[in-house]
Amino acid sequence: MPRGQKSKLRAREKRRQAREGPEHLVPAQTTAPEEEESPSSPSPHFKDAPQSSPATGTSGSPKVPGGVCSTSTTAAAASNTKFNEDASNQVEEKQNTSKARDTTEQCRRGPIEEKVALLVYYLLYKYQVKEPITKADMLRNVIQTYKNHFHEILRKASEHLELVFGLDVKEMDPNRNTYVLINKLERSCDARVNDNGAVPKTGLLMTVLGVIFTKGNRATEEEVWEVLNMMGLYDGIKNFIYGDPKKLITKDWVKEKYLEYRQVPNSDPPHYEFLWGPRAHAETSKMKVLEFVAKSHDTVPTAFPGCYEEALRDEEERARARVLAKAGTAAMASARSAKAIASSFSCPK
C-alpha cells in the first residue's frame, strides 16, 4: 500500500476512536493505576473489610463495626482498671441482672404469691410493734377474698419468715387462733431481738453459723462471702435489710459475741476466719443450725451425715450438762435447807 494511503488510514482510525470515546480502551490500561491509588484497598489493620465489587456496588471503605471499637476500648480500659473497681462493676452488673430477674418473677407472681408477700410484711410489722396476731386480723387485713387458701398462704409466709428472718410462727391458742413470732435464738427476753425496731437479722446469722458448722466449725472469710454473694449480699454494698454486711459480720456480731473473727494462724498474706462465739453456743445449738441449713436446702439434717452425728453428740453433751446443772442446783438448795434447819434447832450457848 502506498505510503500516503497508509497515513490516511491511520488518521481515519484516530478520528473514529476519538468519536467513540474512552469506553473502548483496553481495561488493563486504566484499572491498574486505579487499583494502586484506590482507597478501597484494605488496610492491614482491617483484613476482613469488604472489598468493592463492580457487580454489587459495595463500597470498599473499611467501615469499623460498632462492636470492634467498643470492644477494643473496653479491653484497654479493663487492662488499666484496678481490681476493686472491676469487682464493683461486676457487682453492679449482678445487681442489675438480679433486679431484672426479680422484676420478671414479680410480674409472673399469681394472686396467692402476692398474698404470701403481703402476709410476710404484715407479720413483720406486727412483730416489730409487738402487737398480737390473730387469724381474724390476717383474714381481714391481708387474705380477704382468698380465705379458702389461708393455710397455704400462712404456711408459705412462715417458711419465708423462718429462712430469711429466722422467725418461727407459732400458734399460741388454737381456740382463739392467736399466733406469735419467736426468734430462733433462745434469748432470755425475746424483746431484745429488736430493741430499735429493726428487721430481725437472725436468718442471716443462722446462715453464717451454718457455713461455719458445715465447714468444720471454722470457715474462711472467702467461704462465708461465697454464700453471702449467692444471697445477693456483697462487700461494700449496703443492703436494705442488713445494712453493711461486712460491718455486720466482722464487727457487730463479733461485738455481740455471736461470732469470732480472727486471723488464720501463720497466714501470710493474712487471711481471716469465722468461728462461733460464746453467745451463739448459748442461744442456739448445732442441731438447730443444721435443721435450718437442711430446710433451706429443702432436705433433712440426715442428708449431712457427718454434721448430723456431730450435732447428736452436741445434743447429748448439752443434755448431760443440763442434768448436772439441775443436780448441782438441787444439791445447793438441799444444803441451804439443811443448814437452815440445823440453825433453827441449835441451842444457845
**What CATH code is carried by the domain that includes residue 130?**
1.10.10.1200
Banded model confidence at residue 193, pLDDT cuts 50, 70, 90 = very low
Q: What is the DSSP letter of 58?
A: B
User: Is position 299 within any domain?
Assistant: no
Residue 98 domain-assigned?
Answer: no
148, 183, 218 - which closes a domain = 183
Q: How does residue 197 score in pLDDT terms, banded at 50, 70 and 90?
A: low
Do 153 and 217 sit in the same domain of this protein? no
Considering the domain architecture, whether residues 134 and 163 belong to the same structural domain is answered as: yes
pLDDT at 12 over 80: no
Do 179 and 207 belong to one domain? no
pLDDT band at 42 (very low <50, low <70, confident <90, very high): very low
Question: Is the confidence at residue 11, as pLDDT, over 80?
Answer: no
Contacts of 288 (CB under 8 A, 6+ apart): 184
Is residue 76 predicted with pLDDT exceeding 70?
no
Cα(208)–Cα(245) distance, rounded to whole angstroms?
A: 11
What average pLDDT score do residues 59-78 get?
Answer: 30
Q: Is residue 49 part of a domain?
A: no
Q: What is the mean pLDDT of residues 51-75?
A: 33
Sheet holding 178-183, edge to edge: 133-134, 178-183, 167-173
User: Rounded to 5 degrees, what angle do the CA atoms 104, 109, 112 make?
Assistant: 170
- Give me the pLDDT at residue 250, please: 96
pLDDT in tens, 200-250: 899 999 999 999 999 999 999 999 999 999 989 999 999 988 899 999 999
The answer on pLDDT for 191 being more than 50 is no
Cis preceding-peptide flag for 269 (omega within 30 of 0): yes
* Band of pLDDT at residue 272, cut at 50, 70 and 90: very high
Residues 169 and 207 in one domain: no
Exposure on the CB side of residue 33, measured as CA atoms within 13 A: 3
- At 329, is the pLDDT very low, low, confident or very high (cuts 50, 70, 90)? confident
Indicate if 214 and 176 belong to the same structural domain.
no
Q: Which of residues 65 and 288 earns the better pLDDT score? A: 288
What is the bridge-based pairing of β-strands 259-263 and 272-276?
A: antiparallel
Q: Is residue 166, in this structure, part of any structural domain at all?
A: yes
Residue 144 belongs to what domain range?
Answer: 111-183
CATH classification of the domain holding 248: 1.10.10.1210
Asked whether residue 64 is domain-assigned, the answer is: no
Please compute the mean of the pLDDT values over residues 6-21 and round it to a whole number. 54
Assess contact for 182 and 168: CB atoms under 8 A: yes
- Nearest 5°: CA angle at 59, between 58 and 64? 115
Residues 210 and 175 in one domain: no
Percentage of the residues of the chain whose pLDDT score is greater than 70: 60
Coil/strand/helix, residue 341: helix
Band of pLDDT at residue 340, cut at 50, 70 and 90? low
Long-range contacts of 297-304 (CB under 8 A, 24+ apart): 304/214
Please check the confidence at residue 10 and state whether its pLDDT lies above 80.
Answer: no
Cα separation, 253 vs 245, whole angstroms? 11
User: End of a domain among 153, 183, 213?
Assistant: 183
CB 165 within 8 A of CB 131: no
Reference 133, options 166, 161, 111; nearest CA is 161
Mean pLDDT computed over 179-185:
90
278 and 219 in one domain? yes
Where residue 257 falls among pLDDT bands split at 50, 70, 90?
very high
Residue 163 lies in a domain: yes
How would you label 115-148 residue by residue, b for 16+ Cβ within 10 Å and e otherwise?
A: bbbbbbebbbebbbeeeebbbebbeeebbeeeee
What average pLDDT does range 269-290 have in this prediction? 95
Q: What is the pLDDT of residues 94-134, one digit of tens each?
A: 445 444 455 444 445 688 999 999 999 999 999 988 898 99
pLDDT score of 62 more than 50 = no
Q: 217 or 321: which carries more pLDDT confidence?
A: 217
Q: Does residue 254 have a pLDDT over 90?
A: yes
Please tell me the least confidently modeled range out of 29-38, 66-75, 214-223: 66-75
**61 belongs to a structural domain:** no
- From 236, 260, 284, the end of a domain falls on 284
- Provide the 3-class DSSP secondary structure of residue 220: strand
**Which amino acid does the sequence have at 276?**
W
How far, in Å, CA of 122 to CA of 225, rounded? 31
Q: What DSSP letter does each residue of 241-297 carry, written as one string?
A: TTB-HHHIIIIIHHHTTSEEEEEPTT-SS--EEEEE-HHHHHH--HHHHHHHHHHHT
| Longest Cα separation, the chain | 179
- Report whether pLDDT(164) > 80: yes
C-alpha R_g of the chain = 40
Q: Which residues pair with 274 in a beta bridge?
A: 219, 261
Q: Report the alpha-carbon distance of residue 127 to residue 191 in Å, rounded.
A: 10
Question: Bigger pLDDT: 253 or 84?
Answer: 253
Q: In what order do the strands lie in the sheet with 272-276?
A: 219-220, 272-276, 259-263
pLDDT at residue number 324: 85
322-335 average pLDDT score: 76
**pLDDT above 70 (res 142):** yes
Number of domains, the chain? 2
Q: Is residue 296 part of a domain?
A: no
Residues 277 and 215 in one domain: yes
> Is the Cβ–Cβ distance between 99 and 79 less than 8 Å?
no
